[in-house]
Amino acid sequence: MNLIIVDLIFLVLFLGFAGFFLYKKRKNLKQEGWLLLYRTSWGMKLIERTGKKYKKTLKVLSYISIILGFILMVAMLILIVQTVYIYMTQPQIAETLKAPPVMPLIPYFPQLFGLESMFPPFYFIYFIVAILIVATCHEFFHGIFAARYGVKIKSTGFAFLKYFPAFFGAFVEQNDKQMTKKKKFEQMSILSAGVFANILVFLIVGILFLLFFKMAFAPAGVMYNTFSYEPMNLSQIEKINGIDVQNHSFYGILGKMDDKGFNSILAENKTYIISKNDFAAQNESFKTYGGIILYDDAPAIRANFSRIIYAIDGVRVNSRAELAQELDKYRPGEEIEVTSLGSEGKRINQVVTLGENSKNSSKAWLGIGFFESNSSGIRGAIVGVFSLVKTPGTYYEPAFDGQTVVFFYDLLWWVLLINLAVALFNMLPLGFLDGGRFFYLGVLGITKSEKVAEKSFKYITYFLLLLLLALMVKWVIAFFF
């Protein structure tokens, strides 16, 4: 049965169970705004026992937790400013991405907003498992650190969105009066404990993720991400399909192109090819950068290969080095059979004539390329760690029972992402998040002035809300106009 159908059935059953549960426990529910709070004493003994038994260990971890809190807060502020800058200065991003830049992680959002190429499927069952792990660990650590510093835990429980109980989270309710009387260090330790837990889970699940990938996936081919191309100014284009170009504007050149197949482009005394659709798709990047790319007239693009090559003349190639080694056996003009991934997900064989490498005329040439972005920051760190088990340019397939392997791989991926996202988001210096009070206490500890701390918190809140509003306004304008 299709996994989406199974997941939708699970969603309906879950909503039915949640609705029945809330109805049966309606006397124990308390409404706070859009939330329904179900309080219990579940886990309180474990929280109290852990907090009191490991006081020395938790004291040491408090320093790590607070330092991590500051690092995550600074990282999130930098990330938001960078996101706003990129979103405002590169209009093609706002016009291409249909998803709102500020939105909660909801099931099926990659499918709803056309982001399947950027994210794996986000099924409802992934959402449930990830939220249970993220919320439970986050709140339990708040409770354990609170117990360590003598703040009474009043209750634990779950919070459900009133009109759609599929969205829920866990909470640990502490005595706020006792909390505010504690020292700044102790308060900041308790406040940062939740994101500390999320980062710990992120690291643990990350190790499991890498180990799972190593055991469950095997090299199966070579994956490239571009064809051989050249950047070009429109004024450099001399002829299109043998006809001289008079109008060098973007739409002037577009209007000269044939609708079907490749167009032959003469520029700088060299022939390139490109389809009309591929050229038209560069309109926004042309507006931003003032140039376009044209593809070399290469065997790979002519044969319309997919981006995955399995074998050359029946010899498997699982890396760039193996592909290059195999191509070195042939000379320009010779025919080879390339096994690649077809449009329907099946392997296909195509016979192509090898071209001549412009840098070395004796070497055979397919005309594929491997573009690597120089990722930095958090993304760069994740890419760097993942490269320990995944060779760049190598395509991997499940080693056994493909659907099951991919299901658990994507599940671990989403648990990783959501843990990191919650850790970062919670340290934003906004009043309703852990980072709000944490920021205030940090400024108070540095300046020793409540007035300065209050003003700093007020200004940073306005600044962040202004940035978030700017993002949403930009998206609305790009989406509707």
Which domains can be identified in the chain, with CATH numbers?
3-217+405-480 (no CATH), 223-369 (2.30.42.10)
Residue 152: pLDDT band (50, 70, 90) is: very high
Task: Check whether 285 has a pLDDT greater than 80.
Answer: no
Task: Check whether 400 has a pLDDT greater than 60.
Answer: yes
Task: Check whether 462 has a pLDDT greater than 70.
Answer: yes
Could you give the C-alpha distances from 386 to 198, 383, 408, in angstroms and in order?
A: 19, 5, 17
Of 137, 218, 146, residue with least CA distance to 175:
146
Give the pLDDT confidence score for residue 67 in this predicted structure: 96
Give the pLDDT confidence score for residue 387 in this predicted structure: 57
SS3 210: helix
Instruction: Give the chain's length.
Output: 481
Residue 91: pLDDT band (50, 70, 90) is: low
Of 453, 481, 440, residue with least CA distance to 191:
440
Give the pLDDT confidence score for residue 386 in this predicted structure: 56
Report d(CA 250, CA 226) in Å as an integer: 23
Which is more confidently placed, 69 or 36? Answer: 69
Give the contacts of 316 (CB within 8 A, at least 6 positions apart).
221, 310, 322
| Average pLDDT, integer, range 151-168 | 84
Residue 63: pLDDT band (50, 70, 90) is: very high
Report d(CA 257, CA 301) in Å as an integer: 18
Report d(CA 451, CA 429) in Å as an integer: 17
Give the pLDDT confidence score for residue 382 in this predicted structure: 53
Give the pLDDT confidence score for residue 64 in this predicted structure: 96
Task: Check whether 383 has a pLDDT greater than 70.
Answer: no
Summarised one tens digit per residue, pLDDT across range 426-453 is 999 988 889 999 999 999 999 999 999 9
Give the pLDDT confidence score for residue 39 in this predicted structure: 86
Report d(CA 475, CA 220) in Å as an integer: 40
Give the number of other CB atoms < 10 A from CB of residue 267: 19
| Average pLDDT, integer, range 383-402 | 76
Task: Check whether 141 has a pLDDT greater than 70.
Answer: yes
Give the pLDDT confidence score for residue 137 in this predicted structure: 93
Give the pLDDT confidence score for residue 428 in this predicted structure: 93
Summarised one tens digit per residue, pLDDT across range 303-315 is 888 789 999 999 9
Average pLDDT, the chain: 87
Task: Check whether 82 has a pLDDT greater than 90.
Answer: no
Task: Check whether 83 has a pLDDT greater than 90.
Answer: no
Give the pLDDT confidence score for residue 96 in this predicted structure: 62
Which is more confidently placed, 377 or 305? Answer: 305
Summarised one tens digit per residue, pLDDT across range 239-273 is 999 999 989 899 999 999 999 889 999 998 889 99
Identity of the highest mean pLDDT range in 43-47, 83-87, 334-338: 334-338
Amino acid in position 451: K
Task: Check whether 374 has a pLDDT greater than 60.
Answer: no
8 A C-beta contact, residue 172 and residue 154:
no
Task: Check whether 372 has a pLDDT greater than 80.
Answer: no
Task: Check whether 461 has a pLDDT greater than 60.
Answer: yes
- The HSE-up count of residue 138 (CA atoms within 13 Å, CB side) is 27
First to last CA, the chain: 41
Of 135, 147, 191, residue with least CA distance to 45:
147
Percent share of the chain, pLDDT over 70: 92
Q: Which residues of 17-37 are buried (b: 16+ CB within 10 A; e: fewer)?
A: ebeeebeeeeeebeeeeebbb
Give the pLDDT confidence score for residue 476 in this predicted structure: 77
Report d(CA 61, CA 83) in Å as an integer: 32
